[in-house]
Amino acid sequence: MTSDNIKNSKNKKTTKWISNITLLRESQIMKIHYITGVAALFVVAIHILMRLIMPFNMSLEFENVILNYKNVFYALLLESILVLIAIHGFNGLRVILLEIRQTQIWERGVNILVIIAMIGIIAYGTRTIIIANGLSLG
Amino acid sequence: MNIFRKDKRKEIKNELPLEVSNNTSTSNKGSVKLRVFRVNAVQNPNDIPHFDEFQVPVKRWTTVLDALLDAKSYQDSSIGIRYSCRMASCGSCGMKINGIPRLACYTKISDLDTNTITCEPLPNFPYIRDLVTDFSQFFNHHRSVMPFMQNKKADIPNTNELTEYKQSPQDLDKFLQFSYCIKCGLCYSACPTVATDVKFPGPQALSQAYRYFADSRDSDKSNRLKIIDTNHGIWRCHFAGSCSNVCPKGVDPALGIQLLRSHLLGISKSEKKIAQLQDRSTNTYREEDGEEQIEKEDLKE
């Protein structure tokens, strides 16, 4: 086996690994996209309606916002909004970016970056919710 | 079985009173200015695209193709046009006429209601020369959806045992509309997704995918869905609907795409609504339920 062949086989292995990152078929991804979109509509509606339980300007005062976070159900609602919108939004971004260029490197790069960014945003948002809720991680 | 499809072009024409269409400035003058896009990308890659203008005599029935051929015959024989049947059957003479992709042989100058006719090559296709474009990519996409019947039970190797594969008129009607496609490329040229994404199969290929998917004689449905269920497949359609607007044969590729999507999502198994038959005696539309039973019995016999 020549050095070129070895390099090619190594490249093939890495490309296989990268392509296996997207385990889902496009229809399954789009199904998730639609479901998260509709679900986000409901939870965001509840989130906005929660502002109406007291005068609007009061509901956005620091103490009241922190009090909201202390409520476990409200914290779970915020977490679900975060997860649903992150999944829906980043997949939407992926769809737009895929149309810009059609090279394999670009497609894989976009897929990996979008997944990393989505996980990062969800992790950071979850951390904020946990801290505001008063739960200590350590 | 007669299927009555709506032809928007005919409807618009019928709405116009005859006097109005007679009094257009086009017919009064008896000639129009034809602006033809000129470029020779194959012989000279540095050729700068430009428009040549020709004054062409027209009658009420003159089509854009007739006018172009007139200019080619009597003024400039070097105009590059692709055409064949002159009756909207071959799909060769597709071009952008006054900004809209149309068949030149199917577009009457009197219908355009203007004195200046601008002819350009179809967008989303590479130029070859003047109004002639390269359809290689288009046909590659068409081939990729396997536009042919696949049935493992069909006894094709043993030709002696070939039998008729019966299909009810209802099953035929599920895909008949999509089989009218003449591969003229107008839908492909009007598609905004194709303009940005070269890997997108386009409305023509996707509607053909549905045509074979919906055919009751085809048995390779799951594989057909797999082919179009990719990163650059059916999900990249923005549903602009321009493909259906420009289709000269009433295929409605956007409908095919939406029906395929519903199958891919698995939420619905919806099919194209069966066309209603017109009762000629009463001139009213009637449901097929009664007939369906009779036709099924006929098939059994």
pLDDT reported for residue B28 = 47
Does residue A136 surpass a pLDDT of 60? no
**CA-closest candidate to residue B65, choices B131, B138, B122, B135:** B131
Residues of B in contact with A95 (CB under 8 A): 235-236
B chain contacts of residue A102, beta-carbon cutoff 8 Å: 197-199, 232
- CB nearest B232 (choices: A25, A31, A102): A102
Whether residue A5 lies inside any domain: the answer is no
Are the beta carbons of A98 and B231 separated by less than 8 Å? yes
Domain-embedded: residue A9: no
Whether the predicted pLDDT of B15 surpasses 50: no
Half-sphere exposure (CA, 13 Å, Cβ side) for A49?
A: 7
The mean pLDDT value of chain B amounts to: 83
pLDDT confidence of A5, banded at 50, 70, 90?
Answer: low
pLDDT, residue A13, reads 55
**CA proximity to B175, closest of B286, B273, B285:** B273
Q: Which residues of A touch B198 (CB under 8 A)?
A: 102
**pLDDT at residue B268, as a whole number:** 64
* Cβ pairs bridging A and B (under 8 Å): 33
Report how far residue A54's alpha carbon sits from residue A51's, in angstroms, rounded to the nearest whole number.
7
What is the average pLDDT across B229-253?
94
Q: DSSP labels for chain B?
A: -------HHHHHHHHS-HHHHHTSHHHHHSEEEEEEEE-BTTT-TTPPPEEEEEEEE--TT-BHHHHHHHHHHHT-TT-------SSSSS---EEEETTEEEEGGG-BHHHHT-SEEEEEPPTTS-EEETTEE--HHHHHHHHHT--S---TT---SSGGG-------HHHHHHHHGGGG-----HHHHH-HHHHH-TTS-HHHHHHHHHHHHS-TT---HHHHHHHH-STTSGGG-----HHHHH-TT---HHHHHHHHHHHHHTS----PPPPPEEETTTTEEE-SHHHHHHHHHHHH-
Name the pLDDT band for B284 (thresholds 50, 70, 90): low
- pLDDT tier at B24 (50, 70, 90 boundaries)? very low
Residue B53's pLDDT is 96
Q: pLDDT digits over B289-299, tens only? A: 444 444 445 55
Q: What is the pLDDT of residue A62?
A: 86
Contact B229 A25 (CB under 8 A): yes
Residue A110 belongs to domain spanning: 22-133
What mean pLDDT do residues B51-79 have?
A: 95
Residue A126, pLDDT > 90, answer yes
* This prediction's pTM: 0.78
Tell me the C-alpha distance between A57 and A38, whole Å: 28
A114: domain CATH number is 1.20.1300
- Confidence (pLDDT) at A60: 82
C-alpha distance from B219 to closest chain A C-alpha (Å): 21
Question: Is pLDDT of B9 > 80?
Answer: no
Domain contains A39: yes
Residue B137's region, left for phi above 0, alpha for psi from -120 to 50, else beta, is alpha
State how far residue A1 is from chain B, nearest Cα, in angstroms: 35
Residues of B in contact with A99 (CB under 8 A): 193, 196-197, 236
pLDDT band at residue B44 using 50, 70 and 90 as cut-offs: confident
Instruction: Provide the b/e sequence for B176-202 (b: ≥16 CB within 10 Å).
Output: bbbeebbbbbbbbbbbebbebbebbbb
Domain count for chain A: 1
Q: Which range among B9-18, B79-88, B146-155, B179-188 shows the weakest confidence by mean pLDDT?
A: B9-18
Chain B: residue whose CA lies nearest to A94: B231
Would you place residue A116 in the very low, low, confident or very high pLDDT band (cuts 50, 70, 90)? Answer: very high
Residues 71-130 of chain A whose Cβ lies under 8 A from any Cβ of chain B:
95, 98-100, 102, 107
What are the boundaries of each domain within chain B? 8-133, 136-265
> What superfamily in CATH does domain B136-265 come from?
Alpha-helical ferredoxin (1.10.1060.10)
How do residues A52-108 score in pLDDT, each as one tens digit? Answer: 888 888 888 888 888 888 989 999 999 999 999 999 999 999 999 999 998 999 999
Residues of B engaging A, defined by a Cβ cutoff of 8 Å:
193, 196-199, 225-226, 229-233, 235-236, 264-266
Closest CA of chain B from A71, distance in Å: 36
Residue B175 has pLDDT above 80, yes or no: yes
CATH class held by domain B8-133: alpha beta
Given a cut of 80, whether residue B239 has pLDDT beyond it is yes
pLDDT surpasses 50 at B10: no
Q: Find the mean pLDDT for residues B103-107.
A: 96
**What is the pLDDT, as a whole number, of residue B94?**
96
Average pLDDT over residues A47-54: 85
Identify the band that residue B146 occupies on the pLDDT scale cut at 50, 70 and 90.
very high
CA separation for the pair B255, B274 (Å, rounded): 13
Question: pLDDT at residue B79 above 70?
Answer: yes
Phi, psi (5° rounding) for residue B126? -70, 145
Asked if the structure places residue A138 within a domain, the reply is: no
- Model confidence at B202: pLDDT above 80: yes
DSSP state of A6: H
Check CB contact under 8 Å for B197 and A102: yes
Average pLDDT over residues B78-87: 95
| CA atoms of B257 and B277, how far apart (whole Å) | 25
What pLDDT does B276 receive? 64
Token pair for residue B113?
Answer: 């209601």
A10 inside domain:
no
Q: How far is A107 from chain B (nearest CA, A)?
A: 9
